Amino acid sequence: MYSRFDPSDSNSFYRISEDPVVLDFAGCRYLGELHQVLKKGLGLPDYYGENWDALWDCLWHFRDYPLTIEVSGLHDLPDAFSEEIRLMKEVFADVHKESPNITFLYLS
């Protein structure tokens, strides 16, 4: 789907084959697991810093592509994640505002 993938380059994004992209956070119990779902689902590069600024920076690379991202499993996350979920949703909203062709759908 996206062609920014170069297997010889650790700074390369990985190829995304799903459309829409599905991010299912059910079962995540640690913040690192949440970021691994983001990294794998979005094909983020090896240098992805596993923080909200890094997520925004990486999502910005998709600005020229129509992209739908379905988000599920948020209701399954521990209560301690409430601030992290708020921040993640804020990043998603900011990215969509700057690049309306990137759409986030919350399924749960």
Note the pLDDT tens digit of each residue in 44-103: 998 899 999 999 999 998 888 899 999 999 998 999 999 999 999 999 999 999 999 999
Query: pTM for this structure?
Result: 0.85
d(Cα 108, Cα 98) in Å, to the nearest integer? Answer: 24
Say yes or no to pLDDT of 9 above 60.
no
Q: Which CATH number do you get for residue 78?
A: 3.30.370.10
Closest CA to 54 of 42, 71, 65: 42
In a domain, 58, yes or no: yes
In a domain, 13, yes or no: no
In a domain, 50, yes or no: yes
For the chain, what is the domain count? 1
In a domain, 44, yes or no: yes
Identify which has the larger pLDDT, 18 or 56: 56
Angle between helices 82-98 and 52-60 (to 10 degrees): 30
In a domain, 84, yes or no: yes
In a domain, 1, yes or no: no
Query: Residue 84 is part of which domain span?
Result: 21-106
